[in-house]
Structure 1
Amino acid sequence: MSKILSLFVFFFWFSISNAQNLDIDILKDINVNRNTNLDPFMKGVTNSVTPIVIGTPIVIYAVGLIEKDSITKQKAIFIAESLGASAFITLAVKSIAKRDRPYETYPEIDNVTEESSYSFPSAHTSFAFATATSLSMAYPKWYVIAPSFLWAGTVGYSRMHLGVHYPTDVLVGAIVGSGSAFLCHKLNKWINKKRAPHQKKLWE
């Protein structure tokens, strides 16, 4: 039994070690060999996250108020809920994982910007994908879905280009963001089932 346990521990350690090596190798390919002319653009993409994720539900809710449309207001609330869930999960995981930024561990990583929080998962990516996913679910049209996910994907890439996140930080951030939107969607569907039949529903 002890031999089996030792073997399991060895393979687990070996897998984690290889995953970490692959993580930093991919990041080096993206960051160290990057086109520095793209730095201002990537910083702009990264800096777009806060105004977009805050502004999206506010603008949609304002439209709902102006048009006196309760469904539009509910969609805005759903997007805000997705962001709230994403923020809660992301910050909780960060405080548990406490992973250092890649440039703190590997001096060869050229960080274009400084970050004060932990690395895993990427909050920018999480918020971007929560916004893109919830917006696409609220308005399932190709001209909403395509640019939303193109922007969210570029946000994730920008975090690696700028040297502030590992690929796994970005991948898990995307999963957390999208997952938060799906979770809130399921919750809204369950709540709507409890409503009276004559009431307007967000998810038909």
Structure 2
Amino acid sequence: MSKFFSLFVFLFCISISNAQNADIDLLKKINGNRNTNLESTMKGITNSAMPVSLGTPIIIYAVGMIEKDSTTKKKAIFIGESLAASVFISVALKSIVKRERPYETYPEIDNVTEESSYSFPSAHTSSAFATATSLSMVYPKWYVIAPSFLWAGAVGYSRMYLGVHYPSDVLAGAIVGSGSAFLCYKLNKWINKKKIRKVPQLWE
């Protein structure tokens, strides 16, 4: 039994080591072979994450108020909830994992920007994917879904291009963001069911 456990631990350590090597190797390819002429574009994409994520629910809610449409306002609130959940989870994970930025561990990574927080997960990516996923859920049209996820994916790529995140940070950010939207959707659905049950029926 002890031999089996030792073998399991050994293989687990090897798999983690290989995953870490693949993680930094992919980042080096993205960051090292980047087209420097695109730096300003990538900075613009990465800087768009929070303004777009915050602006989307605000604009939709404003439209709902102007049109006096409660459904539109509820959609805006759901998108805002998804963003808030993704930010909360990302900040919590950063404080728990405390992973250093790739350029702090590997001097060969050429970081274009400086970041003060921890690396895992990518909060920019989680915010972008929370917005893209929740927006696609309330407006399930191809002309909403395609641009939303194309933008979110570009935000994630820009974080690696700029040398401030590992690929695993970006992947985790995408999972946190999309997961936050689905979590908020399920939670809202459960709350709505509770409210319906509390409404007295005519025959009661």
1:173 is the counterpart of 2:173: yes
Deviation string, structure 1 residues 154-196 (Cα, Å, up to 9, x no partner): 0000000000000000001000000000011111111222334
CA distance in 2, matches of 1:140, 1:26: 33
CA distance in 1, matches of 2:54, 2:154: 18
Q: Aligned pair count? A: 198
2:75 matched to which residue of 1?
75
Amino acid at match of 1:103: Y
User: What's the % identity of the aligned pairs?
Assistant: 79
Unaligned regions of 5+ residues in structure 1, if any? Answer: 200-204
What is the RMSD computed on CA atoms of the aligned residues?
A: 1.2
TM-score between both structures, scaled by the size of structure 2 = 0.94
Deviation string, structure 1 residues 80-120 (Cα, Å, up to 9, x no partner): 11011111111111111110000000000000000000000
1:65 matched to which residue of 2?
65
CA distance in 1, matches of 2:96, 2:17: 20
Deviation string, structure 1 residues 104-150 (Cα, Å, up to 9, x no partner): 00000000000000000000000000000000001111111010000
1:115 is the counterpart of 2:115: yes
CA distance in 2, matches of 1:109, 1:173: 20
Greater mean alpha carbon deviation, residues 7-16 or residues 149-158: 7-16
Structure 1's consecutive aligned runs of 4 or more residues displaced over 3 angstroms after TM superposition are: none
1:191 matched to which residue of 2?
191
TM-score between both structures, scaled by the size of structure 1 = 0.94
1:140 matched to which residue of 2?
140
How far residue 2 of structure 1 moved from its aligned partner, in angstroms, is 1.9
Unaligned regions of 5+ residues in structure 2, if any? Answer: 200-204
1:105 matched to which residue of 2?
105
1:161 is the counterpart of 2:164: no
Amino acid at match of 2:37: N
> Mapping of 1:25-40 within 5 angstroms?
25-40=25-40
